[in-house]
Chains A and B, each alone.
Chain A
Amino acid sequence: GDSVTQMEGPVTLSEEAFLTINCTYTATGYPSLFWYVQYPGEGLQLLLKATKADDKGSNKGFEATYRKETTSFHLEKGSVQVSDSAVYFCALLSSNTGKLIFGQGTTLQVKP
């Protein structure tokens, strides 16, 4: 079945460092891909999305490109801030079932 794999955390960075969180997926058909963010004590919020190959999603300085050839959707940010500390979830919307399938989440901690 469809699945999503994220790099294990926690990821600890200093403020203004470059961030990459890896995400790869397995899916039949043509899924849409998402990054969700969960701040402490809150629910998940959509951070960005891409609906077809080579699309780039971007929001709040974060970017991710839908790479069909490598089945990847890595999250990047050029300069992280303390306020970016959160748990990040990669997810795919299965084109077969219409359901969201989540990766296990990656905790990011940014230190001043």
Chain B
Amino acid sequence: DAEITQSPRHKITETGRQVTLACHQTWNHNNMFWYRQDLGHGLRLIHYSYGVHDTNKGEVSDGYSVSRSNTEDLPLTLESAASSQTSVYFCASSDSWGSSYEQYFGPGTRLTVT
């Protein structure tokens, strides 16, 4: 069965370190998204991609970067981790545009920056 996976599921890192969170989908979807989930804010869009070599900034992109070298993967990098980036991170993918499209979510990565 097709799926979307994230790794690691839990990560503790120190302020200033570079961290990369992996996202891999086997749906063969063109669109991929990264969100962060914080209490009281719901999910906020960090970066997104509509295809290989395409990346775009979302609502809260400062301090994060992504690259898309193939259809299946969209890794999220925190260039220099800050305590404000402690959060739960979700990756999602979707197939198409239009009013009927659905985003499929991964299980999430809980990141703690100490």
Contact = CB atoms under 8 A, between A and B. Distances in A.
B103 interface: yes
B82 to A, nearest CB: 23
A103 B106 contact: no
A102 interface: yes
Interface stretch (B60-68, B69-77, B94-102): B94-102
Nearest to B106: A43
Nearest to A46: B102
Interface residues of B, number: 22
Q: State the main secondary structure of chain B at its contact with A.
A: loop
B50 to A, nearest CB: 9
Interface string A22-61: 0000000000100010000111111001011000000000
Contact of A43 (B44, B99, B108): B108
B90 A102 contact: no
A27 B80 CA distance: 35
A45 B107 CA distance: 10
Interface string B74-114: 00000000000000001010000101111101111000000
A4 B41 CA distance: 11
Interface stretch (A11-19, A71-79, A93-101): A93-101
Interface residues of A, number: 22
A43 B42 contact: no
Contacts of B43: 44, 89, 102
A104 interface: yes
A105 B42 contact: yes
A46 B4 CA distance: 14
A45 B42 contact: no
A46 B103 CA distance: 8
B42 A44 contact: no
A100 B4 CA distance: 18
